[in-house]
Structure 1
Amino acid sequence: MSDLSDLLLTPAEMAAVDAAAAASGIDSFSLMERAGSATAAAALRLHPGAQRFIVLCGPGNNGGDAYVAARHLQQSGAAVTLFHLGDPSRLKGDAARARAGCALKEQELGHYRPEAGDVVIDGLFGAGLGREVSEEVRALIGRVTEAAIPVLAIDLPSGLDGRTGKVLGAAFRAHNTITFMTRKPGHLLMPGRELCGRLEVFDIGIPARIVRAGASGVIAENTPEAWKGVLPAELLETHKYKRGHLVVFSGDADKTGAARMSAISGLKVGAGLVTIAAPRAAMAANAAHLTAIMLHAIDDEAELQSWLSDKRLQTFVLGPGFGIGARARGFASALAKRRLVLDADGISSFKDEPQQLYDLFQGEPRLVLTPHEGEYSRLFPDIAGDGALGKVDKAVAAARRANAAIVYKGADTVIASPDGRALINTNAPAWLATAGSGDVLAGIIGGLLAQGLPAFEAAAAGVWLHGEAAHRAGKGLTAEDLAVAVAPL
């Protein structure tokens, strides 16, 4: 992987980088030659036993890369059969030159019938596809998928949107994908991430300064580099209140476990003090399970308002196991001037009047919302229903509307800021999807907020640390195991 592996460029940004490289005097065909030769080398390395390489050439530069790959494969002595989409005589520029340099006889795409021992090299569309694939391509994808033919995709499996990771009608499921210079959001967003198979990034020689200049930096992968600069410095001598006091609200006596998961996680991630604020009827149930975490009785909004006269109380988690309804809305209203992670029942309590929530938290962002797909749809139904938007688009739109950091949960969790920044998380293992996992995440984010991290960075760091804890806990983890495995960076 190149030293640009930290970047994500949209297809439009990558096209601009290609144009800038050409404008700087770099021979664009030499870049295509390197891309095609890298593809051929990957095909030979990954599939040494292939009986026949089926090279699919599309109508643009992705097809040009495929023609170059076909030429190199033939010169290596491999059996190669070439299929084209559309009229290849209409190719222009580098793609036309690549076709002219390939001596193989072409066939129309619809003529391909899979055979045992085939390996498909997909050079139909790449990352720039912006419309649904044709019936001809859909049928081809169906035949290849049904026959379980291995696919090596050039840039991105054809049928995937490189910006959103969405399937545009149908898409190949690649065993491997080779892309150039840097990744696209569609490589990380679902279902694109799964359909890419194993991803390799190959440096074809565009100077890093040109690539970095073309990257907006608005969308990136969620790694420590995105937020470690705001982590609190570890001091040998510090007061516990300087490391923050996190308050987690407990539900009723029979629903106290979720709050404890959040509280333990907040403590483990470094908060100096953690208190569970519980109804009096739930104090005994909580006390039976707590040692390092304090307890405070709060039955109603009036008691909460009185307690908030202590200005050291600045950071709260509301929602896990709390119950849905007016009490949750009242508590959120009382906390409007503080930092708040609103999760689970807290989010659902505002499903009928989401604007009431957004109006409470204006000014400097201090609210973190952690919706899964269903909760997101309840809070932002119009945005959720817009089929033209990808997950990053939806997360950013929600963040702007709510003036909050949004953690749009899922296998491809996206963290978004009201200022338009978005991070795509990739380190969460599949076994993290377990009951209570979200309670742990809310506590981690709360613990980071309590230590002074801004809302967006606390949310992003929390999601990443959550994934790392899941790796430490291992397969078969429970939420209890996950909370124990939480650790600061």
Structure 2
Amino acid sequence: MIKDRILTVEQMKACEKRSEELGFPASELMANAGKVLASHVISETRREDQPDTPEVVILAGKGNNGGDGLVAANFLNKAGISTKIVLCCGKPATPAAINAYDSLNKDIDVLFYDGDNSHPWAAAIDDASLVVDAIFGTGFTGEIERDLQPLFIKLNTYARRVIACDIPSGVDARSGQAGVLAVQADITVTMHAKKLGMLLSPAKYFCGYIRVEDIGIPAAATTGDPIMANEIYSKACMLNNQQLGAKFLTSRKPWAHKGTFGKLVCVCGSKRYIGAAGISASAAMRMGVGLVEICTPGKVIDSLSANLYECIFNEMKTDENGFMTSENVPSILDSLKDAKALLLGCGLGNTPETQKLVAELIEKSPVPVILDADGINSLVPNIDVLLKKQSTVILTPHPGELARLCGVSQDEVLTDRLKYSYGFSKKYGVTVVSKSSETIVCCADRTEIVTAGNTALSKGGSGDLLAGLIASLTAQTKRSSLINCILACMVLGRCAEELCAKRSERGILARDIVAYLPFFLKHLEGGED
């Protein structure tokens, strides 16, 4: 069992296959899975809100997930708990599941789903105090078939309490997608490790409490070659504030000066997008960078300079529409001579000239580049310039921007955001911070999933905030880009969560989070949770 790691569906299948090669057959893993599933059911039947004589119904599919449910039925029967089985897709079809079916205790009632709500299967669900969902496992994708829809409607409408085996049926363990009929579980008992989709929206809201259980897969099946060699290594960043501060925040020496904490150059803003430059620069300053120089058009300087007293402003040349041109590259490179990081793109605009500007700066920048928003959009026509980069590059795309980077539709990206994020990261040797309800941070050999945050961040300016935080940390430290990105994502998400403890998520603005940053960082430094 690996509680701190997230597996893709393919990795989990590989673990099971490798286990069999090591002498742990599918039937043995199924026996163990059924036993731990039954133990959770037994615990639930002892809750105060459960009847003295509980009625359990197990909804079983025809695959190995259903087989786990059949094994659990035997254990429940032996424990004296009234248990019925509803075979939802006919009799079992895999060898291990067939064996489990043939081994059922003879006094367990087995019913067959037929779509008719007047038949015994429907009454069993109505009467049950607890339902076990063992219909579909992690291989499910797409939509619930039409002939099964009455079953799922009945389950979600009438079931008092639901425990899902491995993953709620109707949830895609790869992408985190979940249809309207997906099972709404109270508890999900997942085997060996959490699956990627369970951490992503909307799937995570269908899983209820997730319990990871050991089913006897040996360590060698998870860590040995060739199963995990050159594979994605995924973890969920679930640190509390005390752990976050201790793990990630570096101490500030009393004798330090502004040069100690680095200079950040921000090539951001345009006549049309003035605020983005201000938000990103403010976030960077609040995160602790020593100095920020904003390279931006005069119109932006006129708007921001009255409030951003601490920043240096470097006026850039623009076209007739107020967007920066590639003529500014020499001036920007001169500013980078004593800088530690370059933030490129917030409010930049996307024109032929910004495209040239972005391509040249990526190729020539002597310091790490953080690319956000229109910096990403301007990169797309010249994307292979990433192969010519001199320094680390971090990209922070939302799903639409990631789709443009990968040359696919946004819908395609949303079917498997990890695949596209990791694939792009590996192809170009960059760090990708894939933003959505959950943030996936990918580098060449590892990914992290950050779940912190709420809908207060679902508005303009949040991406600029995150880019500024990442750029600030990059300028201050020599840590890996992965670590800096994780910390920035966690800080932003936790700030939003804490601000919303006493305020509505609807009303929080980017500027509110910027103002709260020093207070939140004090919590981290002081170890307060």
Deviation at 1:100, TM superposition (A): 1.6
Q: 1:143 aligns with which of 143, 150, 154?
A: 154
Q: 1:189 aligns with which of 170, 179, 200?
A: 200
- Find the counterpart in structure 2 of residue 485 from structure 1: 516
Deviation at 1:388, TM superposition (A): 10
Deviation at 1:117, TM superposition (A): 5.5
CA contact 2:238–2:450 (8 Å) conserved in 1: no
Q: 1:317 aligns with which of 315, 338, 343?
A: 343
- Find the counterpart in structure 2 of residue 67 from structure 1: 70
Cα RMSD, aligned residues only: 3.5
Unmatched segments (≥5 aa) in structure 2? 319-325, 525-529
Deviation string 1:21-74 (CA, Å, 9 cap, x unpaired) is 566566546523532333323542568426632211222332232123323434
Secondary structure of the residue aligned to 1:358 is: helix
- Find the counterpart in structure 2 of residue 166 from structure 1: 177
Deviation at 1:302, TM superposition (A): 3.4
- Find the counterpart in structure 2 of residue 375 from structure 1: 401
- Find the counterpart in structure 2 of residue 342 from structure 1: 371
Is 1:220 equivalent to 2:266 in the alignment?
Answer: no
Deviation string 1:445-470 (CA, Å, 9 cap, x unpaired) is 11122233444443333222221222
- Find the counterpart in structure 2 of residue 468 from structure 1: 494
Equivalent AA in structure 2 for residue 295 of structure 1: F
Equivalent AA in structure 2 for residue 192 of structure 1: A
Deviation string 1:145-200 (CA, Å, 9 cap, x unpaired) is 34465431110012333233334895322222111232111211233222212212
Deviation at 1:140, TM superposition (A): 1.7
Deviation at 1:364, TM superposition (A): 5.8
Is 1:55 equivalent to 2:89 in the alignment?
Answer: no
CA contact 1:472–1:485 (8 Å) conserved in 2: no
> CA distance change for structure 1 residues 14 and 85 in 2, over 3 Å: closer, same or farther?
same
My pick for the range that moved more, 66-75 or 163-172, is: 163-172
Q: 2:446 aligns with which of 409, 421, 432?
A: 421
My pick for the range that moved more, 29-38 or 268-277, is: 29-38
Deviation string 1:260-308 (CA, Å, 9 cap, x unpaired) is 2211211232322222223223323212112333333233543441342
Q: Which runs of structure 2 are paired with 1:125-140 in the superposition (5 Å)?
A: 125-129=136-140, 133-140=144-151
> CA distance change for structure 1 residues 177 and 149 in 2, over 3 Å: closer, same or farther?
same
CA contact 1:67–1:99 (8 Å) conserved in 2: no
CA contact 2:4–2:236 (8 Å) conserved in 1: no
Q: Which runs of structure 2 are paired with 1:239-254 in the superposition (5 Å)?
A: 239-252=257-270
Distance in 2 separating the partners of 1:69 and 1:407? 41
> CA distance change for structure 1 residues 283 and 130 in 2, over 3 Å: closer, same or farther?
closer
Distance in 2 separating the partners of 1:232 and 1:277? 28
Q: Which runs of structure 2 are paired with 1:392-403 in the superposition (5 Å)?
A: 392-400=418-426, 403=429
Deviation at 1:392, TM superposition (A): 0.7
- Find the counterpart in structure 2 of residue 5 from structure 1: 3
Secondary structure of the residue aligned to 1:88 is: coil
Secondary structure of the residue aligned to 1:348 is: helix
Equivalent AA in structure 2 for residue 96 of structure 1: N
Unmatched segments (≥5 aa) in structure 1? none
CA contact 2:31–2:71 (8 Å) conserved in 1: no
CA contact 2:30–2:67 (8 Å) conserved in 1: no
Distance in 2 separating the partners of 1:83 and 1:281? 69
- Find the counterpart in structure 2 of residue 37 from structure 1: 38
> CA distance change for structure 1 residues 446 and 302 in 2, over 3 Å: closer, same or farther?
same
Is 1:264 equivalent to 2:282 in the alignment?
Answer: yes
Distance in 2 separating the partners of 1:68 and 1:117? 19
% same residue: 25
Is 1:234 equivalent to 2:248 in the alignment?
Answer: no
> CA distance change for structure 1 residues 260 and 65 in 2, over 3 Å: closer, same or farther?
same
Distance in 2 separating the partners of 1:315 and 1:191? 35
My pick for the range that moved more, 280-289 or 226-235, is: 226-235
CA contact 1:298–1:304 (8 Å) conserved in 2: no
> CA distance change for structure 1 residues 403 and 78 in 2, over 3 Å: closer, same or farther?
same
Normalising by structure 1, we get a TM-score of 0.85
Distance in 2 separating the partners of 1:480 and 1:329? 29
Distance in 2 separating the partners of 1:366 and 1:210? 34
Normalising by structure 2, we get a TM-score of 0.79
Q: 2:295 aligns with which of 252, 264, 277?
A: 277
Equivalent AA in structure 2 for residue 266 of structure 1: A
Deviation string 1:304-355 (CA, Å, 9 cap, x unpaired) is 41342241134222332333324432432342222322222333345xxx14
> CA distance change for structure 1 residues 227 and 335 in 2, over 3 Å: closer, same or farther?
farther
Secondary structure of the residue aligned to 2:388 is: coil
Secondary structure of the residue aligned to 2:172 is: coil
- Find the counterpart in structure 2 of residue 104 from structure 1: 108
Distance in 1 separating the partners of 2:374 and 2:100? 60
Equivalent AA in structure 1 for residue 462 of structure 2: S
Distance in 1 separating the partners of 2:83 and 2:164? 16
My pick for the range that moved more, 224-233 or 263-272, is: 224-233
Deviation at 1:83, TM superposition (A): 0.5
> CA distance change for structure 1 residues 429 and 208 in 2, over 3 Å: closer, same or farther?
farther
Secondary structure of the residue aligned to 2:347 is: coil
Distance in 2 separating the partners of 1:355 and 1:326? 9
Q: How many residues align?
A: 483
My pick for the range that moved more, 119-128 or 364-373, is: 364-373
Equivalent AA in structure 2 for residue 54 of structure 1: V
> CA distance change for structure 1 residues 212 and 356 in 2, over 3 Å: closer, same or farther?
same
Distance in 2 separating the partners of 1:258 and 1:363? 25
